[in-house]
Amino acid sequence: MSRIMQKEIVSEMDDIFFESENLDFYREYIHVEQLYLAGIKEVRTKLEILDDEFHNRFSHNPIHHMEWRLKSPKSIVEKMKRRHLPISIDYIKENIEDIAGVRVICNYVKDIYRMADLLLRQDDINLLKVKDYIKNPKENGYRSLHLVVEVPVYLAEEKKMVTVEIQIRTIAMDFWATLEHSLRYKNKDEVSDDIRQRLFDCAESITEIDQEMEAIHNKLKGKYHI
């Protein structure tokens, strides 16, 4: 059992039963899921190994925990329809970057950048996209570092590059994003201006708290240099 507490984000498999128009897609997709799950495992293992090394060398665990999920077939189909793209496996692989998603919840902001940097330095990882919503927060206050990477998966007869979306954030940013997401999900577009403003203010406060906690941690622990 890994030291890092891990949690699988439940995918909504019940939604497969079934839009008959997309039945062929669903049949084929079952095989594709295995590949993306392998991509998730590769990324998790790489991050876990880094976390273990930090634990041993610096008595510090950058990663608090990880979560992961495969995008549900229904969400994939909906996204393809929104973008007016054909529902075929090739188009989906080509156009949807977040079929495989790993969320890394770190203790401090410096841990986020350290983990991202060490992961991206590995020579079998290809970086496809970075969105730094910590340096450039979204208008609503959302903060996280998003990476889209390709990672090799070795099958019996071939090597496949698999795309994985990685979201890296602090515990506090994750707390915020979870509440904001559930409000938006429950209320659709009816979140009032007052609530929006309060959430935005919380995001600002969280940023200050993250900075202050990190400063205190630095004082107590000294800095590691990698």
Fill in the amino acid letter for 115.
Answer: M
| Amino acid letter, 111 | D
Which member of 2, 88, 122, 140 binds ligand GTP (CB under 6 A)?
Answer: 140
Q: Torsions phi, psi of 143, nearest 5?
A: -130, 135
Alpha carbon distances (Å) from 180 to 164, 195, 197: 24, 10, 12
Our answer to whether residue 8 is catalytic in this structure is: no
Minimum CB separation of residue 181 from ligand GTP in Å reads 4
Binding mask 96-115 for Mg ion (x = CB under 5 A): --x-----------------
Tell me which stretch binds ligand GTP (CB under 6 A): 45-53, 87-95, 116-124, 177-185.
177-185
CB 4 within 8 A of CB 65: yes
* Cβ-contact 163, 148 below 8 angstroms: yes
**What is the C-alpha to C-alpha distance for residues 155 and 127, in angstroms, rounded to an integer?**
22
79/110 with CB nearer ligand GTP: 79
SS3 call for 177: helix
Which is nearest to 181 in space by CA: 136, 138, 142? 142
Q: Among 26-34, 83-91, 117-125, 175-183, which window interacts with ligand GTP (CB under 6 A)?
A: 175-183
Give me the residue label for tokens 């107590």: 220
* Cβ proximity to ligand GTP, 54 vs 80, nearer residue: 80
Strand partners, 160: 153
How many residues sit in the footprint of Mg ion (CB under 5 A)?
1
Distances (CA, A) of 188 to 58, 81, 195: 45, 19, 13
β-pair partners for 132: 145
Q: Counting contacts by CB under 6 A, is residue 81 touching ligand GTP? A: no
Find the shortest distance in angstroms from Cβ 141 to ligand GTP.
Answer: 8
- State the number of binding residues for ligand GTP (CB under 6 A): 10
CB of 6 to ligand GTP, least distance (A): 18
**Active-site residue, from 165, 180, 204, 208:** 165
- Regarding 187 and contact with ligand GTP (CB under 6 A), the answer is no
> Cβ closer to ligand GTP: 26 or 142?
142
Give me the residues that bind Mg ion (CB under 5 A), please.
Answer: 98
Q: Which residues are catalytic?
A: 165
